[in-house]
Every structure is written in structure tokens, then in C-alpha cells.
Amino acid sequence: MPISPSLHSVSLPPTARFSDVVENYAKYRPHYPSNIVAFLKQECGLHSKARVADIGSGTGLLTQLLLDHQYKVFGVEPNLKMRKKSEELLSHYSNFTSIDGTAEMTTLSTHSVDCVTAATAFHWFDKEKTRVEFSRILRPDGFCVLIWNLRIVEASPLMEKYESLLNQYGTDYKEISPQKIDEKGIGKFFRPITVKVASFPNQQRLDKNGFLGRLLSVSSMIKPDHPQYEAMIQAAKDLFDEHQENGYVDFIYSTKCYYGPMKI
């Protein structure tokens, strides 16, 4: 039976939702495939040492990949705890700048970046305000790239049952799940340009602690003070035990990229 949203605070704004899952998010969310960088170079003309604004950068999962390839990256993140975690993890990169800002108000200068990225974050943004802001901060003909790590639910019985677990114990998971990409809305966001799409295979191998941490990184999951929290944890442990091989399970993803220049 789904958990009633009234039993958990689901009225938090998007910028505050992840404050209590930061550690699990940083440790157990999947990274992005490294071949995305070659894709950015080829399809978006992203030359070496280009300036990239990574919007909703969170704990820096995509940011770090871009930094490793020598891009100058502005990590724009409104959530204080998420932003502080990225600053901690990425402090040794001289090409990283942490920004307290939002997709709708980045605080970046006009025409100051060559590319804007948003990794598993765009579904939280105010689309019309974000469209204006991205167009403002991008150089003329600069590219916007929207990226999601999407679980392939039908890839295995484990993936199907994990999705059921999220639906059962997520207070508003059905409403906010990034699994349900609004492609029509994305097309409208890029108008009058026709948005292009690319997909990359991605996989994550998890031990039991990682499996539980991956579950607890989801903002809509019930919290330790909820009466059904222990039941959720036990159900997750049972699911892992049912499908583990040599102490690990595999999560299968498709990393999907929507991209194009921004013109208003």
C-alpha cells in the first residue's frame, strides 16, 4: 500500500528536498559515463578549457567529470548542504567555482559560458524562467545539455521490484520521479530549435550498503521517524538478498541527453 503523503513533509521546495540525504547522494548515486565528454566536444563544439555552468550541480557528480577534462566549471546549486558537500569533494580543482544560485537566477554574467548542463535536475526547474536565464548566460549559439540517469526498469526482475519499492515507500515518488521525462516540455523549452537526443549505456554495481544507500538517496523516501521506516529497510534488505550474486547487484541505466543551442 502506498504511504500517505500526509505522513511526511512533501511540501518542501525542490531546493530543500535533498538536505537530509546529502551523504547518501554523494556516495551512492550513479556517476555519468565518461564518453559524454567526447559527445559534448563533437556535438556541441565544447573546446578544451571551455566555460560550463552546471546547474543544480548537487554534490558534483557531473561537475567532477567536466573538471577532470579541464573545463572551467561553475557549479550552481541552491541547496546549502549539497553545495557545501561539492565544495568539500572538489576543493582541489582550481577550475571549479561554487555558486549559490538557482536555475532561474544563476548570478552568472551575461554571455559568460559556452555550455549549460543540468544533470538529473531539470525536472525541478521553473521552465520559462530557466529558459530566459540560460539564454542570458550562454554565449551566442551556446549549447544547453539536459542529462538524466534513467533506470531501465524492464532490464531485470531486480529493477522492476526496486521500482515497486520506491512506489510503495515514496511519499510522492509517482509525482516527482525523474523517470517520467516530459519530452514535450523539453521540446518547448528549446523552441524554435529542434532538440536532439542521445543515449549512453550506464551501470552501477552495489553491495548491500550501497544498495540501501542508493534507496535512501531518494528524496521522497520515508525517514527514520516514520512508523514504516524499518519495514522499508527490511524490504530493501530482502530484495538485495534475493537478487545478489557474490554480494553485489547491478543497476542498469540509460543516460539520456537532450541538447541544442538556446535561442529566444
| CA-based torsion, 258, 260, 261, 264: positive or negative | negative
Instruction: Say which residue the cell 546529502 belongs to.
Output: 22
Q: What is the pLDDT of residues 96-125, one digit of tens each?
A: 999 999 999 999 999 999 999 999 999 889
**What is the domain partition of the chain in residue ranges?**
5-261
Q: What is the enclosing helix (H) or strand (E) of 200?
A: strand 196-206
Mean pLDDT of 161-166: 96
**Nearby residues of 145 by Cβ (< 8 Å), 6 or more positions away:** 40, 44, 115, 116, 117, 118, 257, 258, 259
| Residue of 92, 18, 98, 33 whose CA lies nearest to 252 | 33
Residue 7 has pLDDT above 50, yes or no: no
Q: What is the pLDDT of residues 208-258, one digit of tens each?
A: 999 999 999 998 899 999 999 999 999 999 999 999 999 999 999 999 999
pLDDT value, residue 32: 97
SS3 content of the chain, % helix, strand, coil (to 5): 40, 25, 35
Per-residue confidence band for 264, with pLDDT thresholds at 50, 70 and 90: confident
pLDDT value, residue 180: 65
For the beta carbon of residue 10, count every other beta carbon within 10 angstroms. 17
Q: What is the pLDDT of residues 9-32, one digit of tens each?
A: 445 666 667 788 899 999 999 999
Concatenating the DSSP letter of every residue in 120-184 gives: S-GGGS-HHHHHHHHHHHEEEEEEEEEEEEEE-GGG-HHHHHHHHHHHHHBSSHHHH-TTS--HH
| Residue of 182, 132, 178, 146 whose CA lies nearest to 44 | 146
Residue 1 has pLDDT above 80, yes or no: no
| CA-based torsion, 177, 183, 187, 190: positive or negative | positive
Alpha-carbon span 31 to 89, nearest angstrom: 14
CA 196, chain centre distance (Å): 19
Q: What is the enclosing helix (H) or strand (E) of 35?
A: helix 35-44
Alpha-carbon span 165 to 215, nearest angstrom: 9
**Nearby residues of 227 by Cβ (< 8 Å), 6 or more positions away:** 7
pLDDT value, residue 118: 97
> Residue 20 class from Cβ within 10 Å (0-12 exposed, 13-18 middle, 19+ buried)?
middle
Alpha-carbon span 171 to 2, nearest angstrom: 8
Q: What is the pLDDT of residues 52-82, one digit of tens each?
A: 999 999 999 999 999 999 999 999 999 999 9
> Residue 103 class from Cβ within 10 Å (0-12 exposed, 13-18 middle, 19+ buried)?
buried
CATH 3.40.50.150, applies to 5-261: yes
Residue 205 has pLDDT above 50, yes or no: yes
Q: Are 179 and 150 in contact (CB under 8 A)?
A: yes
Q: Any idea what DSSP says for residue 94?
A: T
